[in-house]
Amino acid sequence: MSINAELARLFSEMAAVMELTGANPFKTAAMNKAARQLKDLTFDIASIAADKKRLMEIDGIGEGMAGRIMEFKQTGRIREHDELIASIPPGLLQVTRIPGVGPKTAKLLWEKCGVVDLVTLKEKIDCGALVGIPRMGEKTIANILKSLEFVEKSSERTRIGIAMPLAESIVEHLAAMNGVERVQYAGSLRRGCETIGDLDIVACSTNPGALAEAFATMAMVEQVLTKGETKVSVRIHQGMQVDLRIVPLESFGAALLYFTGSKEHNVALRERAIKRGMTLNEYGLFPDDYERRQRRRTPPPSEGGSQGVGTTEISSGDSPTPQPSPSRERVKSAAIASKTEEEIYRALELPFIPPELRENRGEFASEIPKLIEFDDIKAELHAHTRASDGKFTIEELAAEAKKRGFHTIAVTDHSKSSALAGGLSPDGLRAHIEAVRKASERAEGITILAGSEVDILPDGSLDYDDELLAQLDIVIASPHAGLKHDPDRATARMLRAVRHPLVHIIGHPTGRLIGSREGINPRMDEVIAAAVEHDVALEINANYRRLDLRDTHVRAAVEAGAKIAINCDSHTVTDFDNLRYGIMTARRGWLPPHLCINTWSNAKLMKWLKSKR
DNA sequence: GCCGTTTTCGGCCCGACTGTTTTCAGTCG
C-alpha cells in the first residue's frame, strides 16, 4: 500500500501521545490535521517525498511535517514517533478511547495508580484502587466501568446503510409528538459519510421537556448517558450513541449547521465570522460583542453601548445567579442570522454549501458546482439475474427498473471465474445474451442491455475473449479475486483492464468491503488518468458495504474529468434502494451530473456505448 | 506546528453537561 496511510497513522499516534503528555494543544491539532490530509490524498506521497517545496504546498504540511515525511521516506521511520511511543506504556492510548476518559484522566490513572492498559484498568477498578484519587468519585468510577464494558463489546463505526434507517425511524418517532416543530438528523450521516460514529438529531418543540423525556424512553434506548435541558444522549441497543439537541425554533438553522459539522468546516466558518466582526455558535450568528468580552473577563458593555442590543436581561448587573446561555437568550433580538443555514452562509458572504461538501476540503475557496442529485439518475447499468447470483428474472429486473423511472437497465451477470457467484461459461453467456435480446424486444418503455460483469483476472486480462465481449452492449470489468495484491501489481492490473478497448466501466475498482476487507490500493491517479485517456467510466458501487470508488477517489476523478457510473449492483429489489448512498458519495466527490453516465439520455448513452464496438 | 484580508509573530471555535468542586476541570461534539 502507499505510504500515505502509514504516515497518517504515525502522525495520529504522535498527536495522541502528545495530548497525553500535555504538549501544546495547537501543535497536537496541527499533527492531527496533517494526518487527515495524508489520509485523504489520492496520490502516493512517496512520489513527491524528495521535494520539500511540493510537500509544503499541501495544506497543513509545513516545514516540520515535510521534514518528518522526508525522514520516513528515507529511513522508514520517524524518530520522534519512536521516542513518543516509548515514553508511555503501549496500552495507554487504548484507555483514552473509552468514552469519558480523555488524555488528562488517562495520565492521572497511569501516574496515580499504575493503569497501563484496558486490562489493568479493569483490575484497578475491581480492587478499588481508584478510590481516593482526585476527581475520581463513586459515579465517575462507575461510569468508566460501564464505558469500558461498552468498548469491549461494541464494534467501531456503523455503515451508513445501517445508520440511516435507524436515524429515520427516530426522526419519524419524534416528529409524531405533540409540540414538535422541527426534527432532523445532522452529523456525519447528513454529510453522507460512509460510516457513522454517533447519530445527531436536532429538534425544536413547544414542549422541550416532554420531547427530551420521549427521546430518553424510546424502546430502542439501552442507557441514558446524559439528560439536560437542551441535550440528551443515549446509547441504543444497536450499539450506537444518539444525541438529541433541542433548540429554540429561531435557532434551528444555526443548530443544524453546527451539528452537521464537520468540525473542520465549523472551525473555518467561525474563523470567517470572527474576521468579519461576528461570532457563530449553535444559536446563531451574532455581532462580536458581549459574549467574547465576557469570556475575556472584561466588563460587559455599558447601557446604551455602541452595539445597542441591550434588549435582554442577560447583563442584569450584579446578579450572582448563573445565567442560562446568553446566546440562547439573545437569539430573538440580536442574531444577524439563525433561522436557516442559507441565511447564515449568506451573512458570511458564502453560497449555500451542501452538507456533503462540509469537510474543509476547498469548499470555501472554490465555486460550488451544481452537484448530482438522486433524481438525475436515469439508468441502472449493473444488475444481476438468476443466471448468476441475482434473485430476478430478466423481466422482473426490467420491471423494477422501469418502476424506478429508469429508461435503461443493463443485465450484467458474473463471468466464469466468479464460480461461487454462479458465473456464466462462454456458452452460458451466449444463451443469456439471446434471452436478454428476446426480453428486450418484448419490453415496453425500457431498454434492456445485454452485458456482463466480467472478472479482471490477476494479470489484468479479462475473463472472456474479445470475440464474446464484442457481442455485449456493455462490459463492466471488476476485480473479485486477488484483492491482496501490492500497489504496483494492482496498478498494472487495473491499467490493463482500463486500456482494454471493449471495456465501458470499471466496477468497484478497489474491491474493498467497508470495515471488513481493505481491497487493493492501485495508484488511483494513474488509473484515473488512463480512464480519461481511454474514455472508460469508473464506477461508484452504491452498495453501502462497498461505496467503491470512495469519496476522495471520486473527487480526484472529477478533477481529472473522468466519467463516473453510479450503480446499485442490484441482486434484489432492496439493492436498488442503495442508490441514495451512491449519490451521497458522488456528491462528497463534487460530482456534477454531466460526468455521470447514468444521468444521460438513452440516445446519448447508447451512442457512447456503441463507440466502443 | 501551521498560517497570513491579523503575513514572519501571535493567534489558533464554542457551548453543554457531569461530577466534583465551593468556582471549575475535563470531556465531548
Q: Where are the alpha helices (DSSP H) in A261-356?
A: 263-275, 290-295, 326-334, 341-347
Range with the lowest mean pLDDT among A126-130, A437-441, A522-526, A543-547? A126-130
- Closest-lying nucleotide for A106 based on CA to C1': B26
Mean pLDDT of A90-99: 86
Q: Mean pLDDT across the stretch A458-485?
A: 94
pLDDT number for residue A528: 97
Give the tens place of pLDDT for each residue, A213-264: 999 999 899 888 889 888 999 988 887 889 999 999 999 999 999 999 998 8
- For residue A322, what pLDDT is reported? 36
What DSSP element (H or E) covers A146?
A: helix A138-153
* Residue A246, nucleotide of least CA–C1' distance: B16
pLDDT at A92 over 80: yes
Instruction: Give the model's pLDDT for residue A329.
Output: 55
Q: How many CB atoms lie within 10 A of CB A86?
A: 9
Question: Distance from residue A36 (CA) to nucleotide B29 (C1'), in Å?
Answer: 18
The set of cell numbers assigned to A43 is 496520490
Q: In the predicted model, is pLDDT for residue A311 greater than 50?
A: no
pLDDT digits (tens, 9 = 90+) for A583-611: 999 999 999 999 999 999 999 999 999 99
CB atoms near residue A95 (< 10 Å): 26
Question: What pLDDT shows up at residue A304?
Answer: 31
Beta carbons of A252 and A204 less than 8 angstroms apart: yes
Give the model's pLDDT for residue A21: 86
Q: Output DSSP code: residue A369.
A: P
* CA A367-A369-A370 angle, 5° bins: 150
Please check the confidence at residue A317 and state whether its pLDDT lies above 70: no
Segment A44-64 mean pLDDT: 89
The residue that minimises its CA distance to C1' of B12 is A26
Pick out residues 64-93 of chain A having their CB under 7 A from any atom of nucleic acid strand B: 64-66
Q: Mean pLDDT score of chain A, rounded to an integer? A: 88
If pLDDT is split at 50, 70 and 90, which confidence band does A292 have?
Answer: very low
Residue found by looking up cell 479479462 in the block: A462
A154 versus A563: which is more confidently predicted? A563
Looking from the CA of A342 toward its CB, the CA atoms found within 13 Å total 0
Confidence of residue A289 (pLDDT cuts 50, 70, 90): low
Please choose, from the candidates A172, A542, A582, A568, the residue with its C-alpha nearest in 3D space to the C-alpha of residue A400. A568
Residue nearest to nucleotide B23 (CA to C1'): A322
Higher pLDDT: A507 or A9? It is A507
Strand B proximal to A181 Cβ, under 7 A: no
Task: Kindly report, residue by residue over A271-281, the tens digit of the pLDDT.
Answer: 888 888 888 98
- Per-residue pLDDT at A222: 85
Q: Which nucleotides of B are covered by protein (CB under 7 A)?
A: 1-3, 5-6, 11-21, 23, 25-29
Quick one: which residue's CA is nearest to B16's C1'? A231
Q: Give the residue whose CA sits closest to B21 at C1'.
A: A135
Is residue A257 within 8 A of residue A270, CB to CB? The reply is no
A231 touches strand B (CB under 7 A): yes
**Residue A285 CB in 7 A reach of strand B:** no
Task: Identify the DSSP state of A157.
Answer: P
* pLDDT over threshold 70, residue A375: yes
Task: Decide if A65 contacts A36 (C-beta within 8 A).
Answer: no
A99 touches strand B (CB under 7 A): yes
* Percent of chain A's residues with pLDDT above 90: 60
Q: Say yes or no: Cβ of A29 under 7 A from any atom of strand B.
A: yes
Q: Is the CB of A53 under 7 A from strand B?
A: no
- Please state the rounded mean pLDDT for residues A97-109: 88
Q: Give the nucleotide at minimum CA-to-C1' distance from A31.
A: B1
Does the CB of A105 sit below 7 A from strand B? yes
From residues 118-147 of A, list those within 7 angstroms of strand B by Cβ. Answer: 134-141, 143
Share of chain A above pLDDT 70, in %: 92
- Residue A330: what pLDDT? 53
Residues 466-525 of A with CB under 7 A from strand B: none
Statement: residue A402 has pLDDT above 90:
yes
Round to whole Å and give the CA distance between A608 and A613. 10
Q: What are the tens digits of pLDDT across the range A425-438?
A: 999 999 999 999 99
Q: Is the CB of A100 under 7 A from strand B?
A: yes
Give distance CA A454 / C1' B12 (Å). Answer: 52
pLDDT for res A154: 66
Whether A537 has a pLDDT exceeding 80, the answer reads yes
Omega prior to A225 cis, within 30 of 0? no
Is any atom of strand B within 7 angstroms of residue A305's beta carbon?
no
pLDDT tens-digit series, residues A122-156: 888 888 888 888 888 888 888 888 888 877 766 67
pLDDT band at A319 (very low <50, low <70, confident <90, very high): very low
